[in-house]
Amino acid sequence: MKKIFHGKKVNSNLICGKPMKQILLVGNPNTGKTTLFNSLTKSNEHVGNWHGVTVEEKGKEFDCNGQKLMLVDLPGIYSLSSLSYEEQVAIDYIRAHPKTKIVNICDLNNIQRNLSLTLGLLELGADVILAVNCMDKKPLNKIDAQGLSRQLGIDVVQINAEKGWGFDMLKKSILKPFSPSSRPSYVKSLPLKQIQRDNFLLNKYKFDEFSLIKILEHDEFIFKEFDLDYQSLKLPEDSIALVANARYNFISQLQKKYIHSSGKIYGKSFIDKIILNRFLALPIFLLILCGIFYITFFSLGAWLSDCLNHLLDISFGEWIEKFCFNSFGESSWITHLLCNAVVGGVGTVLSFLPQVVILFFFLSLLEDSGYLSRVAFASEDIFGKLGLSGKSVYTLLMGFGCSTSAVLTARNMEDKNSKIKTALLTPYMSCSAKFPIYVVIGGAFFGANNIFVILGLYLLGLVIAVFLSYILEKTILRSKEQSFILEFPPYRISGPKRLFNVLWENIKLFLIRVGSLLISMNVIVWILSNFSFDFSFVPSSNKESMLEGFGKILAPIFVPLGFGSWGIASALIAGIVAKEVIISSIAMFNHIKNENLIGESLFIESNMVYFPGPSSVLAFLVFALLYCPCISTMAVLSKEIGRKWTFLGIVAQFIIAYVVALFTYNVFGACEKFGVLPVLIVFLVFIIIVVSFIKISSAIKKSKCCANCDKCKK
């Protein structure tokens, strides 16, 4: 099986000691680069109808008519100057590989705009193949490929990246020997010689035409490389617009001869009148989210989960138990390990497979539909006030699926502070791994009302993220001005092949995660909870287990939150590796082999994991939601925003989790004791006092006079 290389490792693949010949996939965002990459390399990399799905370079070997080549998929760019981090990744890669063939993918529906990048690549003198991707049955444009090819001096191939049309022609073009393209004719009309004449400084270096164009465009890369300051240079007024006008005038000439346009607007749809209605847009989005959560967690998802749980119990569980009893005996430690760690621990999490898969399925549908750009637009005002951008919606929504992959998408942000903020807020979203905790533990205490508890937890994560973002924006992470320049893709419905791939990939990933990480973690937790420090088996020796020893040290920290048993403390520590481990550890500690029985075991005081009442359960759920990201998310956070911010983020998360859980335990505890109404009255009085205090103090500040104090009298 060929391996996909990510990031800097792409360059490390060798053939006979030499780096493998690379082919770069370059194009505007959302033109089908990754779809082409998947088709040519037979991979299943993540795609979506949203700009910036690919955030780092990735390469894989592919067979090009018998020759082995490395195909490199790069993040989407609009030109060879960047506005965000993922764009810089692509531009750096292109500039670092000057003698590499580039397959420039254009969307046929929007070729006029896409050709601007093609011209930028030709200005660079790169060897370019223009692959025009026709994604729809009725495209908005038609092209004369041969005419375009003649005019641009490069191969122009029409393809369908998903279905594989035109790949033979594309592969033939790829195999042609490397030949740098000639620069487009309009380059001669640009004042390149003039700026060399006017600026003596520029004659110190031998700038080629591409570098001079970039100087006209005030490109930071060139100024940094040659230690130039554009303010000290004498450049024509509006030189940036001058270059852009030259490119687009050239495109207009091409359009007249070789592109036949239908005149329709790309991405425009009659549904947008409702979807983008100023007052309906956000309620519609919330309704859609509620619908997704309901289907995933309560109707279809819950039913499928029950069926799988039943199936696992009567087939897998009973079979292993019988096998162990017969082979090793009832009291053997092997029987204990297999029945507790594998059947109990892993089986409990495995039954949530349908719900996790359904959630990812719906998130993929949303991502493919083109609707998320509309949501980003609708929520831009609210997110803008919090120092984020509407583009953060994508990252936060992906956080409901998996925080690790969601954090990576924060690279879409335009400035560093927005990127750090978005990445730090992502772990506050309830990822799919936390869901089993809510269902099993919440369900035991709240029954049918658990739907409101789960909804409340999802909302709580969101509210805390929003609140934190506001504080960060006002204090240490003030964002620079966001442009919110975002292209609107057309609405699309995912094809059956794509839907099958999404389902299959998520089932595979879940099973791999359960089969590797979860089993190994469960075995470690089992060993720690069943062997004492002198390594004697605890159930037969009645000594204190290693985990009990550690857990008892930490348990007092959680006493004020209402769940001070060492079993819960140990489960929370184990959950740092992966959140699913919390529920599998609880099942193991209480010797449960079926998910449905965990709930009952939590009421029994003699069990290792025991909750005295609903308020302690609520505090536990709140704490589990907020206390810290899993290890893989921490690693990605550290890579993306640095160790300092990751450390601060984790510490802040723990403190916030503790404070909110403490508040929850005490408020709900008081409600249990005195009733809801008195607590509500006290709460309202408290809020009135605080608000009045703030209002009075701000009024005093505004009047700049403290009534009749001595200073004012004087």
Identify the DSSP state of 160: B
Contact status, residue 432 vs residue 455, Cβ threshold 8 Å: no
3 state SS for 339-382:
HHHHHHHHHHHHCCHHHHHHHHHHHHHHHHHCHHHHHHHHHHHH
Least distance CB 203 / other proteins (angstroms):
24
C-beta neighbour count of 714 within 10 angstroms: 5
Helices 145-152/239-258 angle, 10° precision: 140
Least distance CB 455 / other proteins (angstroms):
24
Least distance CB 425 / other proteins (angstroms):
20
**Range list of H helices, 55-134:** 85-96, 111-124
Least distance CB 477 / other proteins (angstroms):
19
Q: How far is CA 606 from CA 110, 442, 454, in A?
A: 67, 20, 28
Closer residue to other proteins, CB minimum distance, 429 or 486:
486
Least distance CB 482 / other proteins (angstroms):
6
57 burial (CB, 10 Å; 0-12 / 13-18 / 19+) is buried
- Which H helix or E strand runs over 157? strand 155-159
Q: How far is CA 322 from CA 313, 338, 339, 451, 601, in A?
A: 12, 11, 10, 37, 23
Least distance CB 505 / other proteins (angstroms):
31
Closer residue to other proteins, CB minimum distance, 488 or 620:
488
At residue 31, what is the residue type? Answer: T
- Which H helix or E strand runs over 713? helix 710-713
Closer residue to other proteins, CB minimum distance, 217 or 595:
217
Q: Which residue has the tokens 């380059």?
A: 187
Q: Which residue has the tokens 């005295």?
A: 612
Least distance CB 245 / other proteins (angstroms):
5
Least distance CB 259 / other proteins (angstroms):
11
Least distance CB 242 / other proteins (angstroms):
9
Least distance CB 220 / other proteins (angstroms):
8
Closer residue to other proteins, CB minimum distance, 204 or 268:
268
Closer residue to other proteins, CB minimum distance, 26 or 444:
26
Identify the DSSP state of 712: H
Least distance CB 83 / other proteins (angstroms):
5
Closer residue to other proteins, CB minimum distance, 133 or 565:
133
Q: How far is CA 432 from CA 356, 401, 429, 579, 669, in A?
A: 6, 5, 9, 9, 29
In whole angstroms, what is the distance from residue 238 CA to residue 530 CA? 74
3-state secondary structure of 591: coil
In whole angstroms, what is the distance from residue 661 CA to residue 615 CA? 10
Closer residue to other proteins, CB minimum distance, 109 or 506:
109
Closer residue to other proteins, CB minimum distance, 117 or 425:
117
Least distance CB 389 / other proteins (angstroms):
9
Closer residue to other proteins, CB minimum distance, 251 or 561:
251
User: What does the radius of gyration of the chain's CA atoms come to, in whole angstroms?
Assistant: 30
3-state secondary structure of 192: helix
Least distance CB 29 / other proteins (angstroms):
11
Cβ-based neighbours of 608, under 8 Å, separated by 6 or more:
565, 566, 567, 589, 590
Closer residue to other proteins, CB minimum distance, 237 or 605:
237
- What are the backbone dihedrals phi and psi of residue 23, each rounded to the nearest 5 degrees, phi first? -125, 125
Q: How far is CA 385 from CA 277, 349, 395, in A?
A: 20, 39, 17
Least distance CB 240 / other proteins (angstroms):
5
Closer residue to other proteins, CB minimum distance, 179 or 253:
253
Closer residue to other proteins, CB minimum distance, 261 or 540:
261
Q: Which residues bind other proteins (CB under 8 A)?
A: 78-79, 81, 83, 110, 112-113, 116-117, 140, 217-218, 238, 240-241, 243-245, 248, 261, 263-268, 272, 276, 278-279, 281-282, 373, 376-378, 380-382, 384, 390, 481-488
Structure tokens at 466: 């929003």
Contact status, residue 387 vs residue 479, Cβ threshold 8 Å: yes
Least distance CB 520 / other proteins (angstroms):
46
Least distance CB 484 / other proteins (angstroms):
4
Closer residue to other proteins, CB minimum distance, 110 or 395:
110
Closer residue to other proteins, CB minimum distance, 79 or 133:
79
- Which H helix or E strand runs over 159? strand 155-159
Structure tokens at 24: 């770069």
What's the first-to-final CA gap in the chain, in angstroms? 87
Cβ-based neighbours of 141, under 8 Å, separated by 6 or more:
108, 109, 110, 111, 112, 259, 260, 261, 262
456 burial (CB, 10 Å; 0-12 / 13-18 / 19+) is middle
Closer residue to other proteins, CB minimum distance, 239 or 529:
239
Closer residue to other proteins, CB minimum distance, 116 or 638:
116
